[in-house]
Each structure stands twice: as C-alpha cells, then as structure tokens.
Amino acid sequence: MADIEYTTTGAIARIVINRPERKNALANDMRQQLTEAFRTADADDEVRAVVLTGTGDTFCAGADVSKMAPRDVKGARNNLQRNAHALIRALYHIEKPVIAAVRGSTVGIGLSMMLACDLAIVSDTARFSCIFARRGLAPDSGAVFFLARLIGLARAR
C-alpha cells in the first residue's frame, strides 16, 4: 500500500495518510505526494469535495525527523520548509471544500493541515500539539496564520 492513498467515490476525493507504523509522520516524499493529491483533486471537475484523514489511531504526527539527513541539517531544514510550504499552499488554495477527519494525535504539520482545511470533524480522542511552540519557536507551516484566523488573534496568543 502507498503511504498516501488517493481515491474517488462519486464526487468525493479521499486522501489518506497511510503510515500507521510511524503515526502517519510525513517523510519528504509524502509531503510531495500530498501536494500532488490536492492538485489532482482541485483539477478534477468530477470532484466536488475532499476528505483528508489518517490511517490508524493518529491523524498525523508531523514531520518524520528520522528521515532527515543528520549531517545536512541546513539542507534538510530548507527541504522541509520548501516542501511543507508547497503542501500547505496546495491545500489552502484548493477551490473545493476540504474536510479533515481527525482522530488521535495531530502534531506540527499535521495540525497545520487540519487548520488549513475548510472543516475539521474531530473525534473525542483527538489531541493537538505544536512542537515548535513548546520549544519557544514560531510554529511551522502556517499554524499561526490559520489559528489566528480561526479563533482570533487574542485567543491564538
């Protein structure tokens, strides 16, 4: 099975992050596949809505840091930022409603993806974390932008 599954049923495109053994953490190639899946759904005139979800008990545990090259920290960081930003832009600019179906942990770029969706349906097992913020850094992948727009600037601080 692919790490990113794209299927359509009628007018609904379903994009599934399918890497439960790593809590659906996104490796670089997966971010590129997700970007392409959103672009495919956007270009398909038969698709009227998109559902984004994860396999298993986790929506998305963020970026898979185990796949980053330890010797090339700057290159890995730049690659992560470039691909993460392309993914979030593709999701945010899609012309069709995107619904996140969320359960379990939603961390880092997973949280940013959920916040960028038009609607999130969240189970009572869902937990959210912004690891960058917990380390005193600005959250990644648009989390600050989306959170402030959703709940207001005062509450987002």
DSSP string, 79-117: HHHHHHHHHHHHHHT-SS-EEEEE-SEEETHHHHHHHHS
Q: For tokens 């963020």, what's the residue?
A: 62
Number of domains, the chain = 1
35: CATH = 3.90.226.10
Percent of the chain at pLDDT exceeding 90: 63
Model pLDDT, residue 10 = 97
Q: Are 19 and 56 in contact, with CB atoms under 8 Å apart?
A: no
**In whole numbers, what is the pLDDT of the chain averaged over residues?**
87
More confident residue, 48 or 63: 48
Nearest to 99 by CA among 56, 53, 57, 38: 53
pLDDT digits (tens, 9 = 90+) for 27-42: 989 999 999 999 999 9
Q: Which domain holds residue 87?
A: 4-156
